[in-house]
Each structure stands twice: as structure tokens, then as C-alpha cells.
Structure 1
């Protein structure tokens, strides 16, 4: 599988990072996870392009994870690619329909499949997935995803505080993409700091491969080394910062 980080930023733009978005590919299968501001342009820079991605999976409905959905729908319509599936936590169907109701000219332009994910296990766009509810200010799902052929697993935390149950949900994942929004000196809830994430990674009964830190607020700029040191004081695993445009091949670990 291949994972491309389209957007590793947050609700407060840095000027160098798009908001949340990740492209997961396995052969001809492709899945866009979250679609925040700037993700459509980042997707257009990939070989797949927005024309080649017909399925979106949302972790939750905050603006920095959904704000490019409307422009993705219009771009696909203009490109003649009218099939699109959008899935996510309960309320996803209403979210999309309410958004389209604001733009009357977009009514009935697309052959939409809208899906609220209710079950803990699901299949989508050639991938098998599991979902787990996180600790955030609105309902948010973490996901474990693998291709239908039983290849490596990639886990995404969504937005969440760090806690051991979430790390254990990612057990066996070759790559774990985890929110690390702020450095340690910021008093924050609903998101982790490096120390809280390091504590959760160390305390969990889980074996995960490489951890990528994402959902980065401007407060983290210029402080990556100290943040990695804080995680490393607590957890001995491989932890790195994600960057927009980084594309990695994911193998079993």
C-alpha cells in the first residue's frame, strides 16, 4: 500500500501545511481520508488526481476535515467523474445533503452514495476497515485500514486526546498516523501533547510500527526536535513528523 500525506495541518493555517487529508492506495483502489482546506489542490498534484479518487472517508465533521468536500464534488462533476461515495460517522449523509442544499446548481450533478458508518467493521473502496470512537469535542472515529488481500494495516487516530485504548486499537499497524497538535507547554483538551502521547504509546499493550505526528498547529513550528525528544523520553519506538507531500510505501513490519 501507499500512503500520501496531503495535509498535515489543523484549523489554524501555517501557510505551509494544508488541513487534514490522506490518500491511501493499493493497486487500482484509492481512498481519501478527510478533505480539509487545501487537500483538493494537494490531491491534484498526485498521479492519481481528484479524477481518480471516488471515495472519501471522514473521521469527523469539523471544518478542517471537510471544507474541501464541496470543491471536490464540483471538480469531479466538471471533469465528468460523477460517481462519488462519502462515508463517515453518523450524520455524514445529512452533512453532505445540507451542504449541497446551499448550492442549488449542484443539485443532482453527481451520482452520490452517502454512508453513515454504524458498524465497527466495514468495507469501503477495496479496503477492509475497523472504527473506534476517539476522545474529541465531537464524535470522531479512528480507523484501521488494510487492503482486501490482507496486506499491511495503517491506523489513523483522527482528532483525539492520547489514551491507551486508542493505541491498542492500532495494535499490529505498520504505520500509525496520530494527532499531536501542540507542544507540551500548551494547556489543551481534545488533542494530545508529545508527553501525553508518549505516555499512552508506552503504557499501551500494543505493537505498532512507525508513528507519524500530524494535525499540527502553528504552535509546533520550529519545535519539532523538542517534541520528538518529549515523546522519546517516554516511548522508544520510531516516531516522526509527517509533512505535506510525503508519500511512503507501507509494508508489513
Structure 2
């Protein structure tokens, strides 16, 4: 599996980090997890072609995770690629239908199969790739995803506080990509801080944790967060930058 961190930031602009997006390459298949503002350009900058992407998996429908979905669909259409599949939580179909109603010319040009999934559901993205989802703790319905391919397991948290259901899914995984929006001792709900996350990753057998979805408040506190987590976590801990590539 090859993971490209396309966007590691949030809705507030900051240098070097666009909104949420993550590309997983499994064999010849490229699957996009979330597609916030700036992600379409990051796909280009990463050396990938947007026309190779026909599957998008959404954690939730907040703008910083979906703003470039329509942009990607239009870019594909302009390059003669018309079919796509979008997986997402309850409400995804209505959200996309309403957007398409605003752009009737898009509705006539593209064909999008929307698959709504619920916490605890398991489904197959393609032959050899199985996915399971769990509910996060956020201000709107949000899903985390466990992706299994070729003997490897990656868990992507979406936006959430640390919680038992997601961590049960992450036990023993090769990579946990977990949001860490704010620094230590920051009073917060619906998102994660290092002190909220540390007790959940201890003694889990997770190979590596990658912290993403960083607010500007985290600037200057990155090393502090890493060192704090490493005190009680036996695996690797990293804070990726946009366009960072990891192979497992």
C-alpha cells in the first residue's frame, strides 16, 4: 500500500497544509479518502492523475473534507471520465443531489453511484480490498475506516475525539492515521489533542501513528506532541506534511 497525504490541514488557511485528503494506492487502484479544498491541485502536484480516481470515501460532510468533490468530478468530466463511486455516511446522497441540482449541466454529464454506509458495516471496495467503518465522536455523523489490502491494515479516523470503537478497529494495525487538531492541554470536544489520544494508543500493537488535520494552533507544538506520545507508545509517531508518501 502506498499512502499519499494530500491535505493535512483544516478549514483555516495555513502555509503548506490544504484541507483534508488522503490517497491510498493498492495495486493499480487509487482510492481518495476525503476531498477538501486544495486537494484536487495536490493530486496534480503529487504526480497522480485525477482521472485515475473513480472512488472517493468520505468520513463526513464538513466543507473542509468535501469542498473539492465537485471540482474533481468536473475535472474528470472535462477529461472524458464520467463514472465515479462515492462512499460516505448517512446523508451523503442527499448532499450530492442538492449540489447537482445547483449545477444541472454537471448532473447531465456525470454518473455518480453513492453508497451510504453505517457504523459497523463491512464492505468491499474492490477485489482484495475490504473496508470496515466505525462511528467517530464529532459534531455531525462521522466515520472512521479500516482498510485491509494485501495483508496490511490502515485505519483512518476522520474527525473525532479518540474513542473505543475506532481504537478497537485499530488494534494491531500497521498504520493509524488519526486527527490531532490541537496541542496539549487544549480544551476541546469533537476533535483530538495529544493528551486525549495517548491513553488510547498505549499497548495496542499499532505499528505507526500519523497525526493529521492540524489546526494553526499546533504550529510550534509539533515536537512537543510527538515526544509526549512517544513516552507511552511503542510504535512510530509522525506528523506528515502535504505530499508526504508512506509505503507499507
The interval holding the TM-score normalised by the smaller chain is over 0.9
Q: Is the 8 A contact 2:9 2:17 kept in 1?
A: yes
Please, which runs of 5 or more residues in structure 2 have no aligned partner?
A: none
Contact 2:8–2:213 (Cα < 8 Å) also in 1: yes
Say yes or no: does 1:68 pair with 2:64.
no
The 5-angstrom pairing of residues 138-149 of structure 1 reads 138-147=140-149
Q: Secondary structure at the match of 1:86?
A: strand
Structure 1 residue runs of 4 or more that deviate by more than 4 Å after TM superposition: none
Out of 214, 225, 228, the residue aligned to residue 226 of structure 2 is 228
Structure 1 length-normalised TM: 0.93
**Which residue is 1:211 aligned to?**
209
Q: Distance in 1 between matches of 2:48 and 2:38?
A: 16
- Once residues 57 and 241 of structure 1 are traced to their aligned partners in structure 2, the CA distance between those partners, rounded to angstroms, is 22
1:161-176 alignment runs, 5 A limit: 161-176=161-176
The aligned residue for residue 94 of structure 1 is: 94
Deviates more, 1:175-184 or 1:231-240: 231-240
Pairwise CA distance, 1:125: 4.0
Separation in structure 1 between the aligned mates of residue 46 and residue 231 of structure 2, nearest angstrom:
36
Residue 187 (1) aligns with residue 187 (2): yes
TM superposition shift of 1:196: 1.0
For the 8 Å contact 2:157–2:166, the answer to whether it is kept is: yes
Tell me how far apart the structure 2 counterparts of residues 180 and 55 of structure 1 sit (CA, whole Å). 26
Unaligned runs of 5+ in 1: none
Matched, 1:58 2:74: no
Q: CA deviation at 1:234?
A: 3.5
TM-superposed deviation, 1:168: 2.1
